[in-house]
Amino acid sequence: MVSQIRQNYHENTENAVNTTVSHVLNASYHFFDLAYYFDRDDIALPSLHKYFLKLSENKREQADKLLRYQNQMIQ
């Protein structure tokens, strides 16, 4: 038996959330990469390193929130 919540959660919505999570995590990985680019000895811009690390963390938190929402709706 399918739960009432699952019945009201359209498949297109689930796919859209999954796609959004994928894009958000991709952005997080790019920000993480940039953070460590600016942390190199030949670049050494610690402010940009911290800035991009924070952006990466924020994106991961957004993805986590979306995945928690997704899991609540599917159960």
Residue 52 in contact with residue 13, Cβ under 8 Å? no
Backbone angles phi, psi at 27, to 5 degrees: -60, -40
Q: Could you write out the DSSP letters of every residue in 59-70?
A: HHHHHHHHHHHH
Q: Name the least confident of 1-5, 44-48, 50-54, 61-65.
A: 1-5
Q: What share of the chain is helix, strand, coil (3-state, %, to 5)?
A: 80, 0, 20
Amino acid at 42: D
pLDDT at position 9: 79
CATH code of the region 4-74: 1.20.1260.10
pLDDT digits (tens, 9 = 90+) for 9-39: 788 988 999 999 999 999 999 999 999 999 9
Residue 24 in contact with residue 55, Cβ under 8 Å? no
pLDDT digits (tens, 9 = 90+) for 2-11: 455 566 778 8
pTM for the structure as a whole: 0.83
